[in-house]
């Protein structure tokens, strides 16, 4: 079942450059919005699969540790006033920055889980899917920024020197935070792109 | 220890004597004071001289002696110490003195201090040996393994001799220095300063709390006889983890053995509120500050991602992961073999799972000791219990390999070894590219590809040859191995024009394992000429002009290809005549021939060529001595035997046909070798019950001679028809019967005889039932002479109908029967006698009667035809007098007075039976209105009080029928006998008017005896049934007892249901019209009597 899912994903993720005719900003926004929705649909499954594989207490029903934070990930929480006041460029660049960090972090989480749960191919595949989707979102947001004529900031290495000496427990927690924040950022991206959809109707 | 000689014995004695004399309390107090005073005196005496000499040593070489200075001696006072040690030596010293170790034994020591002299006796036994306090050179910690490393110097150089040292090391934990462990460590002093190392692994991570270590020693010098004491504890050294104020949990990512214990701590400055192992809450062990620890006992195997241990502080969580698993099992079933002599593949089974995955999974290393090479197994992403395998490149010129497979994980390692000669462990790959090529029609070449370099060894290959509808054949081939992997062999002894399926597998010599079978390769071998001519026979046509030649198609093995056509030719001495080609499906040819001797030859042809000819002579060799024999088969075939005849040189032929067919008749033939004397003829065409003709021919010089002619059945059946038979002649006492043969088709076996049955019997009534049941009246004749066609049956009765039956039988059974009725002719003498005798008897009877009547004519007249009739003989009047005591109706329960009814005699006789009938029915149906309705219609009303009694009938079903089941007994005698015995009535019923007694209350269920006992009572009770109750039987009227009782008592009274028309209304009522006057007549009783 993984192959059709990946093929399906690729249609959403492929950078729009490969298309013959250039897409309008509205089309690009719709495409990014659809991708965000599909990411949102898969979120709870991914988090559930991940926590289930980490053992108790992570796998206990209702596990939640909001106190765990990762400084290398930008927080998705934002006050409504601030969020509402963001201009297009800032709004998109924040989403882009977050998904750039998420892409790198999801790669890291995938590597961590290959050590911790090498016998759980479903989890590894879902993490790979999530990373591909995050990359797709990154590409889509970049395409929107280009289409809207907004400056496209250069990609940075957000991960830095952080990860390599982490203990297994830290890696489990880190994975949890990354997936949780991935969900939060996906929710925020849906809202941001909905705003753009309204602003740039096709 | 030390003896001090002081002269103080006298005063003490005085004190004792004084005390002995004191008895009062005062005296006791005084004595106490005195004692104190004296002691003070002694003490002060003692203090005035050096005392309490003590010597210790820390190196056994120098004794350090000290004493107490006399009182008043100031600091720096000088003493002279003299020791008697073989020589007298004196030292001028201050308070303490170090003296060289003295030899064993007592030594006198004199200490002079001014004028006072103290003398001591000093012995080595009194000296204490207290080693110097050891000093920890270094204490270090390996936090990752929670191990403390201790280093110290034993300072052995100061000791003169080798001696054992016991080191005691104590571990203290936390700031309040709880002793965790005290352990000993033994070493030996060897005269040199030696640095010792000691390590200890803590059960608690060293980061969790400060650990302190102290050490002391005890030197056990065997030659020193004094006190050996522990040294003082060294200064404590400690190890602590320098926290960077971040909360941390220790140990991290620890891999431990399943079932072991582990302590996990959280170094923090926040208050830990909860500790969890997985989802289990754990009690906290408080350490210094806010640090806490938990202890996990007997940990169980972790899941893949490990066991989580979590410490929760107020707004955060910290944790660690513990991986509990097992050390690697010994690799099992290690096996090394090669597919191609280029690469060795070693496989093994990992054994028990370790529960450790990822980087903690078992790593395997295959080491070959002769070459010193090793191969490492890359860990599988997914651990499995399936076979692991490693490839090892073979080395040139090395055949024997000594493999050691080492398994290692963080908890330990294990290994397994195998010594193998690879040339004996060759498991070839599956042969591929199997190809077949023709050599000829019976041989092919088979080639295949077998990867590998087998140049140095021999291969053993197996070829499976499968032929359709045949068992498969295996051929083993040994061949030399080649370097280029291509192999080719010839496969012979095949059949032409046959589809073969080949497949190959190979092994090596010496045998180790077969490869898998290659794919199957199907191949059709080429055609060859037919191996023999067709099996041929000939028959002359019915007109004798044409010779019909038959042949059988060749079998696949003989045809060696597809038979396209046949060539038939006939040759005589003069000429050879050849017919045109006959194409395959036709297996028969007709040639017009004269009766000369010809040799017919038949040849089968396929695409490759012609078969050898089959030859047969057209004419038969005559045989006059021929008999027709019979034979019966075995159901599916028939066995024919014959005597050996040396003249028959070619073969024997048995041909057969259905005997009912017309000539030329040929169903099939069979050839058997000339040396045979029997054969079983089998054919699917054979049917049971059908007659076949079999002809046995012998062959010599291609000419056939008919030797025997046999008729036979494969199985005999019973005839399907009966023989037709007719009666040829009939007399008064005999019948001549003639019958016909049964046709062969319907006989269905060899006729063995006939069975003739006859019995007396009419056509309608007599049926020949159960002919075989051996009835005595049936006479049977078995005719086994099948040529007999007539039978005369004698001793019959004249003018009698006889039933005749005839049936044929074979060994297969009896045929159906055919029957006939014949009446024998009349016997005239008998008939005359039969007429004359009755006539004579009738005449005699008539004459006698006439004579009697004449003689008794007066009596007859008086009796039957009197001039004046006697009224007493009037039955009607008699009836009225005796009967009418009840009601006119038949309902016995009605309480009406019984008034005599009038009898009206009318002319309408035809109504009489109806009247009787109606009355009785009305009584049964219990419909009172019926009686009233009927009454006016009745012109003859007979007052009739039937003595009704109920009886329980044995049939319960009849009980349920209610009133219909009631049985009414009528004493007919009482109705009619009074005329004969009128005087008896009053005696029997003297109180007849005493009142009615319901007949329903009669004890009908009682026995006869009971009834008899009650008889008297009944007589006095008034109404009485009109019959003697004793004569009534409680059994059914049909029973013999009933009949007996009625016959004994000479009474017509008989129990009978009033429903029973048969009794009450005789069926032939109308035949006795005279009875209408009295309602009942004697004829009724006579006719009813059999019913009783």
The pLDDT of residue B923 is 40
Which residues of chain A are within 8 Å of residue B276 when distances are taken between CB atoms? 56-57
Q: Return the residue of A nearest to B382 by Cα.
A: A119
ipTM over 0.95: no
- Are the Cβ atoms of A67 and B276 closer than 8 angstroms? no
Say whether residue A60 is in contact with chain B using an 8 A CB cutoff: yes
Look at strands B87-93 and B79-85 and give their pairing: antiparallel
pLDDT tens readout for residues A158-173: 666 655 678 999 999 9
- SS3 state of residue A121: helix
DSSP secondary structure string, B977-1034? GGGT-TTHHHHH-TTTTS----GGGS-TTS-HHHHHHTHHHHHHTS---SS-GGG--S
pLDDT tens readout for residues B745-764: 888 888 889 888 888 877 76
- Are the Cβ atoms of B317 and A55 closer than 8 angstroms? no
Across the beta sheet with B443-449, what order do the strands follow? B432-440, B443-449, B486-491
- Are the Cβ atoms of A55 and B253 closer than 8 angstroms? no
- Tell me the shortest Cα–Cα distance from B355 to chain A, in angstroms: 11
The pLDDT of residue B903 is 54
Distances (CA, A) of A22 to A139, A144, A149, B648: 15, 12, 14, 106
Nearest to A55 among B306, B358, B381 (CB): B306
User: Nearest to residue B789, comparing CAs of B723, B714, B849?
Assistant: B723
Interface contacts A/B by beta carbons within 8 Å: 78
Which residues of chain A are within 8 Å of residue B321 when distances are taken between CB atoms? 167-169, 172
Nearest to B383 among A67, A119, A172 (CB): A119
8-state DSSP, A106: H
Q: Return the residue of A nearest to B379 by Cα.
A: A118
User: Nearest to residue B389, comparing CAs of B471, B313, B445, B333?
Assistant: B333
Give the integer Cα–Cα distance in Å for B350 and B364.
Answer: 10
Q: Return the residue of A nearest to B315 by Cα.
A: A67
> Is the backbone of residue B987 left (phi > 0), alpha (psi -120 to 50) or beta?
alpha
User: Nearest to residue B1058, comparing CAs of B934, B952, B965?
Assistant: B965
Q: Return the residue of A nearest to B303 by Cα.
A: A55
Which residues of chain A are within 8 Å of residue B318 when distances are taken between CB atoms? 169
Residues of chain B with pLDDT under 70: 1-24, 41-48, 72-77, 85-86, 92-96, 379-386, 663-664, 764-776, 869-1092
Helix axes A121-147, A25-53, angle to 10 degrees: 160
Contact B256, B299 (CB under 8 A): yes
- Tell me the shortest Cα–Cα distance from B311 to chain A, in angstroms: 11
Look at strands B107-113 and B79-85 and give their pairing: antiparallel
Mutation target to probe the B interface, by most B beta carbons within 10 A, among A59, A128, A169, A172 is A169
The pLDDT of residue B1065 is 44
The pLDDT of residue B876 is 59
The pLDDT of residue B41 is 67
- Are the Cβ atoms of A68 and B317 closer than 8 angstroms? yes
Highest mean pLDDT among A12-21, A32-41, B788-797, B1071-1080: A32-41
DSSP secondary structure string, B300-362? PPP-TT-EEEEEEETTEEEEEEEEEE-PPPPPEEEEEEESSSSEEEEEEE--S--S--GGGS-
Mutation target to probe the B interface, by most B beta carbons within 10 A, among A49, A118, A173 is A118
Across the beta sheet with B751-760, what order do the strands follow? B779-783, B751-760, B801-810, B813-823
Say whether residue B310 is in contact with chain A using an 8 A CB cutoff: yes
pTM score, whole prediction:
0.58
Burial B309-333 (b: 16+ CB within 10 A, else e): bbbbbeeebbbbbbbbbbbbbebee
Say whether residue A167 is in contact with chain B using an 8 A CB cutoff: yes
Cβ atoms within 10 A of the Cβ of B186, count? 9
Contact B266, B247 (CB under 8 A): yes
Q: Return the residue of A nearest to B319 by Cα.
A: A169
Which residues of chain A are within 8 Å of residue B357 when distances are taken between CB atoms? 117-119
- Are the Cβ atoms of A172 and B381 closer than 8 angstroms? no
Say whether residue B358 is in contact with chain A using an 8 A CB cutoff: yes
Q: Which residues contact B161 (CB under 8 A, 6 or more apart)?
A: B60, B189, B191, B221, B223
CA angle B988, B990, B994 (to 5 degrees): 125
């Amino acid at each position: 079942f993984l192959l059709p899912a990946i093929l399906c994903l690729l249609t959403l993720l492929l950078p729009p450059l490969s298309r013959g005719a250039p897409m309008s900003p509205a089309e690009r926004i719709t495409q990014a919005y659809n991708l965000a929705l599909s990411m949102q649909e898969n979120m709870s499954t991914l988090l559930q699969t991940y926590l289930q594989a980490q053992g108790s207490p992570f796998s206990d029903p209702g596990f939640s540790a909001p106190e765990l934070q990762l400084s290398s990930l930008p927080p998705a929480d934002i006050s409504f006033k601030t969020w509402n006041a963001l201009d297009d460029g800032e709004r998109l660049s924040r989403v882009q920055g977050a998904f750039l960090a998420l892409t790198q972090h999801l790669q890291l989480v995938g590597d961590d889980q290959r050590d911790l749960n090498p016998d759980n191919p479903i989890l590894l595949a879902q993490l790979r899917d999530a990373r591909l989707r995050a990359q797709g979102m990154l590409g889509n947001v970049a395409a929107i920024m280009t289409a809207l004529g907004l400056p496209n900031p250069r990609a940075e290495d957000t991960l830095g020197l952080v990860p390599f000496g982490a203990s297994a427990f830290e890696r489990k927690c880190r994975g949890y935070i990354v997936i949780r924040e991935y969900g939060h950022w996906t929710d925020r991206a849906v809202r941001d792109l909905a705003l753009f959809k309204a602003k740039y109707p096709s | 220890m030390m003896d001090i000689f002081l002269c103080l014995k006298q005063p003490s004695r005085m004190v004792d004597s004084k005390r002995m004399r004191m008895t009062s309390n005062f005296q006791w107090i005084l004595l106490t004071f005195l004692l104190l005073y004296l002691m003070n005196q002694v003490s002060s005496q003692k203090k005035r001289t050096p005392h309490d000499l003590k010597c210790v040593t820390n190196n056994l070489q120098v004794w350090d002696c000290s004493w107490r200075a006399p009182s008043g001696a100031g600091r720096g006072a000088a003493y002279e110490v003299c020791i008697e040690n073989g020589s007298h030596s004196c030292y001028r010293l201050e308070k303490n003195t170090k003296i060289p170790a003295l030899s064993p034994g007592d030594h006198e020591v004199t200490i002079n201090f001014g004028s006072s002299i103290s003398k001591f006796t000093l012995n080595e036994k009194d000296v204490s040996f207290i080693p110097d306090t050891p000093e920890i050179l270094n204490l270090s910690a390996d936090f990752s393994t929670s191990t403390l490393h201790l280093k110290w110097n034993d300072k052995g150089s100061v000791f003169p001799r080798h001696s054992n040292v016991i080191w005691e090391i104590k571990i203290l934990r936390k700031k309040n220095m709880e002793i965790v462990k005290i352990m000993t460590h033994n070493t030996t002093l060897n005269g040199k300063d030696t640095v010792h190392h000691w390590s200890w692994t803590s059960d608690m991570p060293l980061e969790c709390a400060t650990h302190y270590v102290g050490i002391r020693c005890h030197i056990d010098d065997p030659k020193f006889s004094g006190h050996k004491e522990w040294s003082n504890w060294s200064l404590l050294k400690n190890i602590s983890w320098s926290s960077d104020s971040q909360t941390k949990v220790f140990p991290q990512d620890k891999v431990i053995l399943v079932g072991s214990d582990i302590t996990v701590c959280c170094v923090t400055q926040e208050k830990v509120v909860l500790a969890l192992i997985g989802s289990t809450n754990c009690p906290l062990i408080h350490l210094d500050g806010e640090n806490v620890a938990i202890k996990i006992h007997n940990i169980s195997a972790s899941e893949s991602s490990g066991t989580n241990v979590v410490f929760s502080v107020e707004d955060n969580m910290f944790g660690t992961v513990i991986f509990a698993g097992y050390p690697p099992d010994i690799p099992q079933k290690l096996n090394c073999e090669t597919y191609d002599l280029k690469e060795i593949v070693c496989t093994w089974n990992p054994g028990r799972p370790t529960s450790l995955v990822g980087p903690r999974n078992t790593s395997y290393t295959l080491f070959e000791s002769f070459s010193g090479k090793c191969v490492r197994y890359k860990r599988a992403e997914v651990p499995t219990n399936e076979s692991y395998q490693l490839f090892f490149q073979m080395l040139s010129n090395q055949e024997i390999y000594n493999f050691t497979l080492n398994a290692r994980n963080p908890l330990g390692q294990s290994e397994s070894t195998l010594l193998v000669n690879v040339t004996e462990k060759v498991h070839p790959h599956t042969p591929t590219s199997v190809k077949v090529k023709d050599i000829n029609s019976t041989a092919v070449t088979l080639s295949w590809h077998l990867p590998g370099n087998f140049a140095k060894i021999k291969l053993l290959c197996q070829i499976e040859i499968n032929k359709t509808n045949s068992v498969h054949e295996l051929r083993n081939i040994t061949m030399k191995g080649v370097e280029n992997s291509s192999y080719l062999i010839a496969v012979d002894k095949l059949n032409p024009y046959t589809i073969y399926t080949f497949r190959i597998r190979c092994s090596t010599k010496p045998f180790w394992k077969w490869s898998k079978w290659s794919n199957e390769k199907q191949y059709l071998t080429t055609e060859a000429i037919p191996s023999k001519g067709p099996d041929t026979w000939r028959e002359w046509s019915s007109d004798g002009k044409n010779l019909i030649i038959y042949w059988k198609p060749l079998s696949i093995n003989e045809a060696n290809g597809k038979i396209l056509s046949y060539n038939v030719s006939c040759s005589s001495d003069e000429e050879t005549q050849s017919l045109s080609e006959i194409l395959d499906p036709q297996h028969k040819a007709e040639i017009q021939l004269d009766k000369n001797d010809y040799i017919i030859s038949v040849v089968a042809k396929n695409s490759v060529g012609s078969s050898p000819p089959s030859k047969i002579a057209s004419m038969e060799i005559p045989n006059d001595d021929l008999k027709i024999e019979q034979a019966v088969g075995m159901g599916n075939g028939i066995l024919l035997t014959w005597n050996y005849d040396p003249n028959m040189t070619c073969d024997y032929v048995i041909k057969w046909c259905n005997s009912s067919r017309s000539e030329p008749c040929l169903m099939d033939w069979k050839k058997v070798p000339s040396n045979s004397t029997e054969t079983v003829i089998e054919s699917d065409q054979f049917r049971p019950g059908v007659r076949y003709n079999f002809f046995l021919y012998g062959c010599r010089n291609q000419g056939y001679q008919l030797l025997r002619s046999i008729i036979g059945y494969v199985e005999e059946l019973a005839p399907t028809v009966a023989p037709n038979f007719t009666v040829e002649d009939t007399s008064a006492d005999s019948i001549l019967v003639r019958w016909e043969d049964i046709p062969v088709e319907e006989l269905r076996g060899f006729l063995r005889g006939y069975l003739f049955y006859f019995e007396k019997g009419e056509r309608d009534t007599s049926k020949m039932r159960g002919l075989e049941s051996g009835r005595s009246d049936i006479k049977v004749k078995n005719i086994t002479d099948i040529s007999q066609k007539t039978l005369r049956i004698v001793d019959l009765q004249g003018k009698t109908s006889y039933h005749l039956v005839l049936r044929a039988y074979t060994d297969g059974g009896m045929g159906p029967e055919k029957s006939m009725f014949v009446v024998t002719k009349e016997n005239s003498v008998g008939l005359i006698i039969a007429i004359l005798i009755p006539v004579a008897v009738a005449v005699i009877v008539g004459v006698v009667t006439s004579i009697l009547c004449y003689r008794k004519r007066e009596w007859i007249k008086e009796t039957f035809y009197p001039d004046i009739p006697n009224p007493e003989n009037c039955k009607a009047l008699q009836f009225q007098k005796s009967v009418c005591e009840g009601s006119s109706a038949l309902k016995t329960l009605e309480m009406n007075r019984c008034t005599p009814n009038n009898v009206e005699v009318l002319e309408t006789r035809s109504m009489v039976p109806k009247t009787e009938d109606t009355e009785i029915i009305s009584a049964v149906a219990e419909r009172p209105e019926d009686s009233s309705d009927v009454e006016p219609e009745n012109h003859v009303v007979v007052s009739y009080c039937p003595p009704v009694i109920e009886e329980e009938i044995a049939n319960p079903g009849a009980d349920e029928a209610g009133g219909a089941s009631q049985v009414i007994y009528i004493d007919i005698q009482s109705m009619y006998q009074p005329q004969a015995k009128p005087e008896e009535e009053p005696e029997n019923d003297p109180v007849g008017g005493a009142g009615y007694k319901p007949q329903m209350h009669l004890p009908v269920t009682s026995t006869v005896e009971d009834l008899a006992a009650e008889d008297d009572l009944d007589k006095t009770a008034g109404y009485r049934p009109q019959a003697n109750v004793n004569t009534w039987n409680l059994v059914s009227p049909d029973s013999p007892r009933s009949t007996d009782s009625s016959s004994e008592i000479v009474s017509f009274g008989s129990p009978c249901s009033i429903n029973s028309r048969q009794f009450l209304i005789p069926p032939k009522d109308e035949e006795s019209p005279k009875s209408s006057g009295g309602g009942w007549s004697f004829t009724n009783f006579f006719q009813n009597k059999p019913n009783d």
